[in-house]
Amino acid sequence: MNDRALVVGAGIGGLATAIALQRTGREVLLLERAPELLEIGAGISLWPNAVKALRRLGIGDAVEAAGAPAHAAAFRSWRGAQLGASVTTQLQARFGAPLILVHRARLQAAMRRLLGSNVIRLGAECVALEQHDFDVTVHLADGAVERGVVVIGADGLRSRVRAVLFDDAPPRYAGITAWRGVVPLDDALGDRIPSGESFGRGSLFGVARLNGSQAYWWAGMRCPEGDGEEPATEKSSLLRIFSEWHDPIPELIAATPPEAIIRTCLYERSPLERLSVGRVALAGDAAHPMLPNLGQGACQAIEDAVVLSDELAATDDVVAALGRYSSRRVRHTAAVVRASHQMSWIAHLHNPLAVALRNTLLRASPPSISLRRLAPIVGHVPRPALTPEAT
């Protein structure tokens, strides 16, 4: 076993954590409950904080090659009136890295190639774990057992590792459902893509260009919790809801195959007071799930990976390293969770007076104000760990 690390969950957070730990020379086994890794999903935003973290891991070039820098994006009303100037093109100068847009499947594929296929074990569902003085035992659903000196739970919103560590309340529905899709673009449609987000009453629609002739769109709306209808009916409902929104929103929905539209109910959890117990720690959505309105879910998971690898590389004391990781991340990620919740609330305002006030404030806010508000989040760069001797 030596100094083997077990990472539970092969999403973006788990892949980033496994890559980060592997690059410090540690043996890594990544346990993924799915029987196969399917290339599904939609677009993902990698803000400057995530891009710089990926560069620190030595994989920035490969990830940036899989995506493309974002075009200028602005807020608009549902009728198409601009509500604020774009700050996208200013991110590089202000924060030292661009905003990268990439298809989630391409990002995960690039990360898996960097990690190596022999590191990932599929069909390996964690059902329990036991901590001992010098290692941790992970029990899998098929009866197999794996051991490591450290276990990182990156197994998502309904994390089994989190349940074992904290047994806290289940995720709660945020009252908002999201839809996402990727659509191919012809030249005529591609020239009319207005990157950014448009706000209505209790609803929003966003769109961004991906690498190649594709657009990624997302929509959000206050509605009851549920699984939705069959794909064709779900698409028809979206076409009806957004039929009077500005062009080319109805056209983008119409051009998306029904089976390619992903419906997701959005959930929240209260921030934890700590992210580790003994030799086990949480990362990504398992640690701090957040609403998507600041585009920081995957970005914060990548930051987690950097800090985890830094701390574990700085000392042989795994428990102390995870404790420092928790201390460095818990307050920052809780602040991002709160900011994401606030942005979601603003974006989904329903009262007409509140909507009018929001739109007026957005029109009146100069880019400098927006950049200042973004700075604590997208300008954040985890500092290198201090060795025990330095502390």
Q: Is residue 173 within a helix (H) or strand (E), and if so which, with residue range?
A: strand 172-184
pLDDT at 385: 63
- Inter-residue contact 321 to 315 (CB < 8 Å): yes
User: How far, in Å, CA of 101 to CA of 289, rounded?
Assistant: 21
Determine the pLDDT at residue 71: 81
- Which of 273, 324, 271, 282 has its CA nearest to residue 163? 282
For residue 201, give both structure tokens: 């009453």
Per-residue pLDDT at 43: 87
Per-residue pLDDT, 13: 96
Largest CA distance in the chain: 64
Give the model's pLDDT for residue 389. Answer: 47
Output the pLDDT for position 256.
93
- At residue 391, the pLDDT reads 44
Q: CB neighbours of 360 closer than 8 A, spacing ≥ 6?
A: none
CB 128 within 8 A of CB 72: no
Cα distances (Å, whole numbers) of residue 71 to 66, 88, 249, 347? 16, 7, 17, 21
CATH of domain 5-171+269-378: 3.50.50.60
Q: Of 287, 284, 283, which is closest to residue 273 (Cα–Cα)? A: 287
Determine the pLDDT at residue 189.
75
**DSSP codes of every residue in 332-355:** HHHHHHHHHHHHHHHHT--SHHHH
Centroid of chain to Cα 140: 26
Q: Is 227 in contact with 177 (CB distance < 8 Å)?
A: no
- Residue 131 has a pLDDT of 96
Query: 10-residue block means of pLDDT along the chain (391 residues)?
Result: 88 96 95 85 91 92 87 91 89 92 90 88 96 96 97 97 93 97 81 87 93 87 91 96 95 94 95 97 98 96 97 96 98 97 96 96 92 92 61 44
| Residue labelled with tokens 């290692």 | 135
Q: Are strands 276-277 and 145-148 parallel, antiparallel or unpaired?
A: unpaired
CB atoms within 10 A of CB 351: 11
Distance from chain centroid for Cα 255: 26
